């Protein structure tokens, strides 16, 4: 939980760790006691008064402050943004338009307090809004499917770049997205490399249902099955084999959004180092790829050495790798590998 709350004299003043809401200055009306009360209540471990405090704020601009205070106290990483995104979801507005709506004295939208209370309980934001952005796409998400993360957009980019290059050089590109989850990577490739043939594999029925929804009309061929066994008929012919597989090592302290709400089968790779499934998937990639084909796989930032050793260990087994490189995410952390089949 966050630390002690500092009282706010005006709507423009910041919560601890929370930027002020644009457009509200020092001359704004005094923030009601509900802001301090809801913060202190959540810090004390009670969410009982969150919904009523938010809904009872009267105006949206005040409710946003109460909501941000509650989320900040609950330990939500981006309380101000989440408070605004939840309100925007109910009103059908982006955050820019929402700021204008709040400035004009709009009332609190119906159901806002309930959503804020659910977010304070650490239900993922995307489960509450029903959608998650991924590159240029908006994907349906919910319980039973892994919510795509921004770092995976770079994994998709590597697959997109290779598929586009192969398509230009050979006139056709065959891509397989293993452990597709929401279908995020497959949908991105199909959208950004028109003319490519994309297959997506998902083992679990709940996730497969979300993938089917997200991939409808994209031309992606979705398969319910095991990524280590499916599509034998394509063995030796795939140009790009890409995956964001289960790879998380065993950890005791994960965010509640991950530990409670993301499915374990999409998270933990097996073994203390989380590498059991990535090891098996690397062997499968070598079988599926044509000579010169590219394997792209996301991994944990702690697994760089283990991943590179993995490719050396597969030499002469399922297939030889000409090269393998670990690449960074936008924060510079080593997060995915690209390896070319010899």
pLDDT digits (tens, 9 = 90+) for 87-117: 999 999 999 999 999 999 999 999 999 999 9
Residue 25: inside a domain: no
Please give the Cα distance from 254 to 268 (Å, whole number): 12
Q: Domain holding 254: CATH number?
A: 3.40.50.150
Residue 24 banded pLDDT, cuts 50, 70, 90: very low
70 with 96, same domain: the answer is yes
d(CA 232, CA 116): 47
| DSSP tag of 105 | T
269 and 200 assigned to the same domain: yes
How many other C-beta atoms lie within 10 A of the C-beta of residue 112?
Answer: 25
Are residues 174 and 91 both part of a single domain?
A: no
* 157 and 233 housed in the same domain: yes
Mean pLDDT of the chain: 86
Give the domain-ending residue among 99, 121, 143.
121
Residue 165 shares a structural domain with residue 82: no
Distance of alpha carbon 201 from alpha carbon 249, whole angstroms:
23
Mean pLDDT of 292-321: 82
pLDDT tens, position by position, 240-260: 999 999 988 876 446 776 777
Confidence tier at 271 by pLDDT (50, 70, 90): confident
Label residue 270 by pLDDT band (50, 70, 90).
confident
4 occurs within a structural domain: no
The verdict on residue 336 lying in a domain is: yes
- Given this model, what pLDDT does residue 269 score? 76
pLDDT of amino acid 317 = 52
Same domain, 333 and 247: yes
Do 137 and 94 lie in a common domain? no
The per-residue pLDDT for range 110-163, each reduced to its tens digit, is: 999 999 999 999 999 999 999 999 999 999 999 989 899 899 999 999 999 999
Provide the pLDDT for residue 315: 52
Domain count, the chain: 2
pLDDT higher than threshold 90 for residue 38: no
7 is a domain residue:
no
**Same domain, yes or no, for 192 and 271?**
yes
Q: How far is CA 160 from CA 55, 89, 91, 168, in A?
A: 45, 30, 34, 12
- Residue 319: pLDDT band by 50, 70, 90 thresholds? low
55-89 per-position pLDDT tens digit: 988 899 999 999 999 999 999 999 999 999 999 99
Q: If you average pLDDT over residues 324-341, what whole number do you get?
A: 94
287 in the same domain as 238: yes
Domain-located, residue 14:
no
**Residue 321, domain member (yes or no):** yes
Q: Residues 68, 109: one domain? A: yes
Give the structural domain span for 180.
Answer: 132-341
Whether residue 93 is found in the same domain as residue 168: no
Q: Tell whether 190 and 270 lie within a shared domain.
A: yes
């Amino acid at each position: 939980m966050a630390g002690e709350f500092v009282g706010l004299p005006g709507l423009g003043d910041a919560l601890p760790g929370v930027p002020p809401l644009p457009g509200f200055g020092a001359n704004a009306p005094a923030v009601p006691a509900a802001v301090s009360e809801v913060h202190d209540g959540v810090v004390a471990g009670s969410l009982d008064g969150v919904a009523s405090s938010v809904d009872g704020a009267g105006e949206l601009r005040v409710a946003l402050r109460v909501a941000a205070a509650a989320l900040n106290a609950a330990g939500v990483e981006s309380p101000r943004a989440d408070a605004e995104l939840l309100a925007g979801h109910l009103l059908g507005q982006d955050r820019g338009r929402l700021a204008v709506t709040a400035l004009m004295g709009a009332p609190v939208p119906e159901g806002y307090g309930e959503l804020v209370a659910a977010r304070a309980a650490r239900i993922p934001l995307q489960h509450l809004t029903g959608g998650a952005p991924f590159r240029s796409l908006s994907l349906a998400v919910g319980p039973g499917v892994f919510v795509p993360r921004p770092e995976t957009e770079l994994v998709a980019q590597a697959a997109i770049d290779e598929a586009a290059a192969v398509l230009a050089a050979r006139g056709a590109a065959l891509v397989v997205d293993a452990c597709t989850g929401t279908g995020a990577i497959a949908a991105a490739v199909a959208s950004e490399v028109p003319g490519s043939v994309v297959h997506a594999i998902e083992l679990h029925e709940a996730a497969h249902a979300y993938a089917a929804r997200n991939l409808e009309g994209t031309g992606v061929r979705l398969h319910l099955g095991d990524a280590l066994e499916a599509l034998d008929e394509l063995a030796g012919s795939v140009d790009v084999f890409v995956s964001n597989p289960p790879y998380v090592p065993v950890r005791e302290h994960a965010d509640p959004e991950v530990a409670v709400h993301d499915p374990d089968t999409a998270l933990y790779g097996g073994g203390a180092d989380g590498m059991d499934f990535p090891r098996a998937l690397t062997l499968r990639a070598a079988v599926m790829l044509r000579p010169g084909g590219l394997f792209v796989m996301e991994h944990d930032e702690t697994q760089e050495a283990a991943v590179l050793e993995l490719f050396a260990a597969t030499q002469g087994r399922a297939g030889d790798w000409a090269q393998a490189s670990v690449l960074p995410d936008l924060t510079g952390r080593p997060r995915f590998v690209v390896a070319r089949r010899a």
